[in-house]
Chains A and B, each alone.
Chain A
Amino acid sequence: MSYSGPWEIPWVPIHHGCVTPSLYRPLIDKVLLIDKVQSRLSSWKAKLVNMAVRTTLIQAVTSAMPTHIMHATWLPMGVCKCLDKLNRSFLWGGDGSSQKLHTLEWAKITKEKKKGGLWLKETRNMDVASSRISLLLSQMAAAATPSTFNLSSPVQNPSSSSLAPLSSSLTLPSLFTANSLNHPFKSLKLNRARFVSAATPSATSAPTAATTFHGLCYVVGDNIDTDQIIPAEYLTLVPSNPDEYEKLGSYALVGLPSSYQTRFVEPGATKTKFSIVIGGDNFGCGSSREHAPVALGAAGVVAVVAESYARIFFRNSVATGEVYPLESEGRLCEECSTGDVVTIELGESETKLINHTTGKEYKLKPIGDAGPVIEAGGIFAYARKTGMIPA
């Protein structure tokens, strides 16, 4: 928990490493977020104003108070729940000293007005939405229309349920509803070339003018070989089988030695909260097993940024479309730490990685020869596009 450095922003904790609730308790004390909200609420004397006024005050003031921090970092669930509890209590006229009866459940209160709710915001949903707004603004700035986020045709995609189509949910209310949001750390994924329907290659557009990946990063060292990415004992799982595909994801990077203290996928889970892997030299060396990029992709990784790649792993990543293999200009694995919030922007003229946690930006190498294959959507789509095989 470090606050030192010229990049410290008041109120906003800068932390290198994994975010845990225990981090935020003392931080909340320093930032005084909960205290500030609480004192603001009690200053309005809940008993002396009616419910309509209380609703407006929550909507306009206390709901908005955490947004400053939300633009820079995620709030732990515990803090979100605490803030919701304060708002809820104030709404029903509680002033901290006495508990009032809540005659309607919070889930209904937070519904949109046309659905009979008061449209008060849940802190958690606002947190996620604020990251999506940042994302959207960066996309709009790059002059891309929402249709460039045309995610893969869901017909044959077994994981389509986990790909929330952003383009259709850009209306403001929907940004705050729970349904449009899945895992809060899920970032946009490239269409999975392997699941593209053979009949409609053109419907699934790959990254065009501007594509962005956003999420937490997981940092590994040099020579991460395929046995560390997916140990051989799990190779009996067949990637083209949807159930086994998901299971492969649960074992991603489980072969890393115990010197890596943060586990990539928590025991019992099938997905990781780290959607970007940052590596050193010779990432993916060793076996030709396609299970390696598949396991990473199945776990939820969208992109890998390594100093250099082993050739078969790179080739498999491109052919399957499971992870976007990017190369850094220097040793990003020494500049970033596991848990940093990063954004990767793939532009026509420039590709870069922005580390929000450190505030630094890094140029990435252009994709090179593999570009046309990735843009087409994988080796099969490329072959169809170039007429090698019939469409």
Chain B
Amino acid sequence: MASSAIIPTSSFLVDKKDVGFSAFCSQPSKRRVSKKIVSVMAPQQSERKPSTTGAVKTGMTMTEKIFARASEKTQLVPGDNVWVNVDILMTHDVCGPGSIGIFKKEFGQNAKVWDREKVVIIPDHYIFTTDERANRNVDILRDFCNEQNIKYFYDIKDLGNFKANPDYKGVCHVALAQEGHCRPGEVLLGTDSHTCTAGAFGQFATGIGNTDAGFVLGTGKLLLKVPPTLRFVMDGEMPDYLLAKDLILQIIGEISVAGATYKAMEFVGSTVESLTMEERMTLCNMVVEAGGKNGIVPADSTTYKYLEDKTSLPYEPVYSDGQARYLQEYRFDISKLEPLVAKPHSPDNRALARECKDVKIDRVYIGSCTGGKTEDFMAAAKVFLASGKKVKVPTFLVPATQKVWMDVYSLPVPGSGGKTCSQIFEEAGCDTPASPSCGACLGGPRDTYARMNEAQASYAVSDIVCVSTTNRNFPGRMGHKEGQIYLASPYTAAASALTGFVTDPREFLQ
């Protein structure tokens, strides 16, 4: 039983104390209110010798500890380059074929992967398309998995009906969590920048390229540099019009798109502890948009409960030491935050949703690993329910995985008298929820559902404005180069759909 592995250690209690102390900052947007540390590459650490009891060691952050365990070292400091043992390697249909090609070229055509149970292959990016190369790429994955006898391959063959594929899941990052591949204390690498999502489970998870993935396929190891950690302490009661998306947009707006380059982002605080697993995943998902190497949330009872029925493999969570050194600490009082958007064309182009109420929009997109999970759809449904009106612009819904799609069609929305999300969406006039995949978050082949193409615009050829629950809004992200994408939480996206302008969800939720 999973519960046997989940005995809180004393270090967990130490961490609790660490988190709940001192005064809150009154200005959520102020940076550097309390600087905890200092030099990251402190050389004096290496001169310290352990005492005879072996107990005198420098405190390490969670990320450093995971690196230490994975590289079989007792002590590490940020900046060290170490060979790390990988627990899970994930790849998908876009980068999988390239990684496989490199693996075969470097290790030989008949080489075998280092561990057939630690490779998880999830087609999700370009699935429901007639593009031949995209379809061929899924076939390449299938051939490789058959040849290597890969245990976890979430295959799809019937593109016309996703439900006819029992193995098929959908968006890789959500599937990894739902299938129990994310476990505290482990190292998870994936050929996708949003692999950092899995950090919500208290593990080190980051994105790598094809060549690195090909290397891991053969050896199960990778050369990684230990990142220094930025600590984000979020306290205060989460208002009922805010979601984790608003929190991460606030942070990215604060530190900019390169503010966390090469660094780990650790999220702690009472607000974080109150978040559900899916919300924590949203928080860690966009860490890469700040340049971050990985995002991490300490595992707690919420994590264990989520994992109870999903994995039977043992795991050992790690927690930051009390004396761990951080590069910088940021404090936020969440109770003072307001709903945010990221205006085109950068995720750090932060603005208050209410200040953009004159921006007329052309469409709304709710989906992707960032904003297409069950709770995200529940949130959107809540807003539609509260309003009772119909949407004024085309509203595209793309559930992340099969499971999410099922939930949208079966779970009742609180306060609706038993209606499911899908019913509420239908009454509001949204598009029918589409087949689960990454969809138009990153554009994709021309025939991708909800892609921003010239041909599909019913009016304006350029400057199509979309409010989306996705993660990036650089030029051309969803297809057309001139498309304007406003990143927002599901609440804000739903509210905007109802008015046809960028709208603060408090218009409907209060």
Say which residue of A240, A257, A288, A388 sits within 8 Å of B207 (CB atoms): A288
Are A289 and B97 neighbours in the complex by a CB distance under 8 Å? no
Residues from chain B with Cβ under 8 Å of A240 in the complex: 97-98, 100-102, 105, 210
CA distance A282 to B137 in the complex (A): 31
Interface 9-residue window, one of A49-57, A113-121, A296-304, A308-316: A308-316
Identity of the chain A residue whose Cβ is nearest the Cβ of B443 in the assembled complex: A232
**Interface 1/0s, chain A 177-204, versus B by CB < 8 A?**
0000000000000000010001000000
CA distance A198 to B108 in the complex (A): 9
Nearest CB on B from A375, distance (A): 14
**Interface 1/0s, chain B 79-106, versus A by CB < 8 A?**
0010100000000001101101110011
Identity of the chain A residue whose Cβ is nearest the Cβ of B131 in the assembled complex: A236
Identity of the chain A residue whose Cβ is nearest the Cβ of B224 in the assembled complex: A315
Residues from chain A with Cβ under 8 Å of B346 in the complex: 223
Contact A227/B442 with A235-B94, A290-B98, A369-B81 known, Cβ cut-off 8 Å: yes
Residues from chain B with Cβ under 8 Å of A285 in the complex: 257-258, 291
Are A389 and B219 neighbours in the complex by a CB distance under 8 Å? yes
Residues from chain A with Cβ under 8 Å of B207 in the complex: 287-288, 312
Q: Does A98 contact B (CB under 8 A)?
A: no
Are A237 and B223 neighbours in the complex by a CB distance under 8 Å? no
CA distance A188 to B195 in the complex (A): 36
Q: Does A129 contact B (CB under 8 A)?
A: no
Identity of the chain B residue whose Cβ is nearest the Cβ of A239 in the assembled complex: B98
Q: Does A378 contact B (CB under 8 A)?
A: yes
Q: Does B372 contact A (CB under 8 A)?
A: no
Q: Does B336 contact A (CB under 8 A)?
A: no
Are A389 and B476 neighbours in the complex by a CB distance under 8 Å? no
CA distance A215 to B385 in the complex (A): 61
Contact A223/B474 with A233-B444, A239-B98 known, Cβ cut-off 8 Å: yes
Are B137 and A236 neighbours in the complex by a CB distance under 8 Å? yes
Q: Show 21 residue pairs from A and B whose CB-CB distance is below 8 angstroms, ordered by the A residue.
A: A156-B105, A198-B105, A233-B444, A235-B126, A238-B140, A239-B101, A241-B101, A255-B476, A286-B193, A286-B474, A287-B193, A289-B94, A312-B193, A315-B209, A316-B209, A316-B212, A379-B223, A380-B211, A380-B215, A383-B219, A389-B218
Contact A310/B258 with A223-B346, A290-B95, A383-B215 known, Cβ cut-off 8 Å: yes
Most buried by A among B98, B293, B446: B98
Are A319 and B212 neighbours in the complex by a CB distance under 8 Å? yes
Are B193 and A257 neighbours in the complex by a CB distance under 8 Å? no
Say which residue of B94, B195, B261, B476 sits within 8 Å of A227 (CB atoms): B476
Residues from chain B with Cβ under 8 Å of A382 in the complex: 223
Say which residue of B106, B192, B446, B474 sits within 8 Å of A380 (CB atoms): B106
Are B210 and A239 neighbours in the complex by a CB distance under 8 Å? yes
Residues from chain A with Cβ under 8 Å of B83 in the complex: 388
Q: Does B208 contact A (CB under 8 A)?
A: yes
Identity of the chain A residue whose Cβ is nearest the Cβ of B108 in the assembled complex: A198
Number of interface residues of B (CB under 8 A): 57
What are the 9 tightest A-B residue pairs by CB atom distance, in nearest-first order? A240-B101, A290-B209, A288-B207, A236-B133, A316-B209, A319-B211, A290-B210, A282-B258, A288-B193
Nearest CB on A from B114, distance (A): 11
Identity of the chain B residue whose Cβ is nearest the Cβ of A320 in the assembled complex: B211
Identity of the chain A residue whose Cβ is nearest the Cβ of B221 in the assembled complex: A388
Identity of the chain B residue whose Cβ is nearest the Cβ of A283 in the assembled complex: B258
Q: Does A261 contact B (CB under 8 A)?
A: no
Q: Does A231 contact B (CB under 8 A)?
A: yes
Residues from chain A with Cβ under 8 Å of B262 in the complex: 311
Q: Does A258 contact B (CB under 8 A)?
A: yes
Q: Does B191 contact A (CB under 8 A)?
A: yes
Q: Does B35 contact A (CB under 8 A)?
A: no
Residues from chain B with Cβ under 8 Å of A194 in the complex: 102, 105, 211
Residues from chain B with Cβ under 8 Å of A122 in the complex: none
Are A227 and B445 neighbours in the complex by a CB distance under 8 Å? no
A236-B445, A379-B215, A380-B211 known, 18 other contacts, Cβ within 8 Å? A223-B346, A227-B442, A227-B443, A227-B475, A236-B126, A240-B98, A240-B100, A257-B481, A285-B258, A285-B291, A288-B193, A290-B98, A311-B261, A312-B288, A315-B208, A315-B209, A319-B209, A379-B211
Identity of the chain A residue whose Cβ is nearest the Cβ of B438 in the assembled complex: A232
**Interface 1/0s, chain B 247-268, versus A by CB < 8 A?**
0000000000110011000000
Q: Does A281 contact B (CB under 8 A)?
A: yes
Q: Does A228 contact B (CB under 8 A)?
A: yes
Interface residues of A in 153-188 (CB under 8 A from B): 156
Interface residues of B in 251-295 (CB under 8 A from A): 257-258, 261-262, 288, 291, 293
Binding site for A on B (CB under 8 A): 81, 83, 94-95, 97-98, 100-102, 105-106, 108, 125-126, 131, 133-134, 136-137, 140, 191-193, 195, 207-212, 215, 218-219, 221, 223, 225, 257-258, 261-262, 288, 291, 293, 346, 442-446, 472, 474-477, 479, 481-482
Nearest CB on B from A370, distance (A): 10
Residues from chain B with Cβ under 8 Å of A225 in the complex: 472, 474
Are A310 and B131 neighbours in the complex by a CB distance under 8 Å? no
Identity of the chain B residue whose Cβ is nearest the Cβ of A309 in the assembled complex: B261
Are A236 and B446 neighbours in the complex by a CB distance under 8 Å? no
Nearest CB on A from B440, distance (A): 10
Interface residues of A in 223-272 (CB under 8 A from B): 223, 225, 227-228, 231-233, 235-241, 255-258
Nearest CB on B from A367, distance (A): 14
Identity of the chain A residue whose Cβ is nearest the Cβ of B211 in the assembled complex: A319
Say which residue of A238, A258, A320, A388 sits within 8 Å of B137 (CB atoms): A238
**Interface 1/0s, chain A 349-391, versus B by CB < 8 A?**
0000000000000000000010001000011101100001100
Identity of the chain B residue whose Cβ is nearest the Cβ of A321 in the assembled complex: B211
Residues from chain A with Cβ under 8 Å of B261 in the complex: 282, 308-311
Are A282 and B211 neighbours in the complex by a CB distance under 8 Å? no
Nearest CB on B from A37, distance (A): 47
Residues from chain A with Cβ under 8 Å of B95 in the complex: 288-290
Residues from chain B with Cβ under 8 Å of A310 in the complex: 258, 261, 291
Residues from chain B with Cβ under 8 Å of A237 in the complex: 133
Are A223 and B126 neighbours in the complex by a CB distance under 8 Å? no
Say which residue of B140, B215, B476 sits within 8 Å of A231 (CB atoms): B476
Residues from chain A with Cβ under 8 Å of B258 in the complex: 223, 281-282, 285, 308, 310
Contact A255/B475 with A282-B261, A288-B191 known, Cβ cut-off 8 Å: yes
Are B257 and A282 neighbours in the complex by a CB distance under 8 Å? yes
Nearest CB on B from A227, distance (A): 5
Say which residue of B221, B291, B474 sits within 8 Å of A311 (CB atoms): B291
Are A232 and B215 neighbours in the complex by a CB distance under 8 Å? no
Nearest CB on B from A175, distance (A): 35
Residues from chain A with Cβ under 8 Å of B475 in the complex: 227-228, 255-257
CA distance A258 to B288 in the complex (A): 27
CA distance A239 to B97 in the complex (A): 9
Interface residues of A in 298-340 (CB under 8 A from B): 308-312, 315-316, 319-320
CA distance A256 to B481 in the complex (A): 8
Identity of the chain A residue whose Cβ is nearest the Cβ of B103 in the assembled complex: A240
Identity of the chain A residue whose Cβ is nearest the Cβ of B191 in the assembled complex: A288
